[in-house]
Amino acid sequence: MEFFERKLKDSDSEIWAAIEKEKERQNKNLELIASENNVSMAVLEADGSVLTNKYAEGYSGKRYYGGCEYVDVAETLAIERIKKLFNAKFANVQAHSGSQANMAAFMTLVNVGDKVMGMDLSHGGHLTHGHPLNFSGSLYNIVSYQVSPKTYQIDYDELREIAVREKPRMIIAGASAYPRFIDFAKFRQICDEIGASLMVDIAHIGGQVATGLHPSPLPFADIVTGTTHKTLRGPRGGYLLTNNEEIAKKINKDIFPGIQGGPLMHIIAAKAVAFGECLKSEYKTYMQNVNENAKALAEELVKKGVCIVSGGTDNHLMLLDVSKNNLTGKAVEVALDKAGISANKNTIPFDTQKPMVASGIRIGTPSVTTRGMGKGEMKMIADFIKRVIDNVDNESALVSIRDEVYSLTAKFPMYK
């Protein structure tokens, strides 16, 4: 049993080294990927706990395995806490990821082959909202809606027009790269007019919805889905919420045995810890700071002449249109990386570039805000980004920006 007690460093030096390097990278780099965040030590501890050993197919009190009394406590706490957080009547916290949560929502609300309407991926939607290479696009008959070419925001009149013409069985609201408020009441109105179900995916804006910074979809949606690892600052995973008891029963069946086997009990425990943190007043302050930082960053970038899609942001993320600088998202992503800044290329609405090249860069403030950065730092970050855009091919300029980035991040250390 000697192997059992060995520390990772001694047991597997290659993986240990990769983890140490990644920790160093996370500490040194400015993390601006809008879908990422940094979990607390408490979340990390639950995530790495012995609950990973436990099989618990089924739900609290109705498991297919013995010995579930303690994992039941963890799952019940996770459910009670997320219900309170979102003021929802029912919750499922077993979805392994946001995509799994969405798959379960599809199974609950529509049949394979049915017509479903989602936001175009290049206009801000998600793969699971109907991309042809995803289950959503291959198993269902997808019609897409886009943003208005004038405002780069959802045009609810056009949305209604398409819905009335196409009569989808379900409409999906929610996005991965949409910086503006979404009017869930309008979506409901349109759904009611054509007898469609409404699925709302708050994977990105869960934190804003939980703290009242974005209107809640719960009063309007048949199902709300989301992820726990983005603004909610928990372990990687998904969840589903509803106020309808019949739908809740169906969701539970569609997650297990529908699409999953044993739930990840260590992750569910870590979700409970994260939801507990989200219920504290510090979290509301955090989310306010996330939004304020995003606003400040967008304003500084605009001042410097960087084009922001739709002109600004109402949440934690924004899209830079670098085609205005005669650059591609891909080129800017690579240059930012050389300067110690992590962000991702992203198509922008009406993009003329392919997705792997793209004309946009998506950035967000959840991670830098967790590290304690504020408006002063946002000004510095806007300056870094503008200089990178002006120097994509100037290696020495990028290296000197990187030195400045590293001295900034050194003042906000994590995971000591």
Q: Cite the active site residues.
A: 55, 57, 201, 227, 230, 236
* Long-range contacts of the stretch 302-308 (C-beta < 8 A, 24+): 303/382, 304/382, 304/383, 304/386, 305/386, 306/382, 306/385, 306/386, 306/389
CB-count burial class (<10 Å; 0-12, 13-18, 19+) for 338: middle
Residues in the chain: 416
Shortest Å distance, C-beta 303 to ligand PLP = 29
- Identify residue 147 by its one-letter amino acid code: V
Shortest Å distance, C-beta 75 to ligand PLP = 19
> How far, in Å, CA of 213 to CA of 210, rounded?
8
Quickly tell me which residue has 């992750």 as its tokens.
267
**Chain contacts with ligand PLP (rule: CB under 6 A):** 35, 97-99, 102, 126, 128, 174-176, 201, 203-204, 227, 238
- Identify residue 31 by its one-letter amino acid code: E
Contact indicator for 290, 365 with CB cutoff of 8 Å: yes
Of the pair 260, 400, the CB lying nearest ligand PLP is at: 260
- Identify residue 189 by its one-letter amino acid code: Q
Shortest Å distance, C-beta 148 to ligand PLP = 20
Of the pair 77, 175, the CB lying nearest ligand PLP is at: 175
Of the pair 210, 306, the CB lying nearest ligand PLP is at: 210
Shortest Å distance, C-beta 406 to ligand PLP = 29
Shortest Å distance, C-beta 156 to ligand PLP = 19
**In the complex, residue closest to ligand PLP by CB:** 98
In angstroms, how far apart are the furthest CA atoms of the chain? 68
> How far, in Å, CA of 92 to CA of 83, rounded?
10
Tell me, letter by letter, the H, E, C secondary structure of 164-223.
HHHCCCEEEECCCCCCCCCCHHHHHHHHHHHCCEEEEECCCCHHHHHCCCCCCCCCCCCE
Of the pair 98, 340, the CB lying nearest ligand PLP is at: 98
Of the pair 63, 204, the CB lying nearest ligand PLP is at: 204
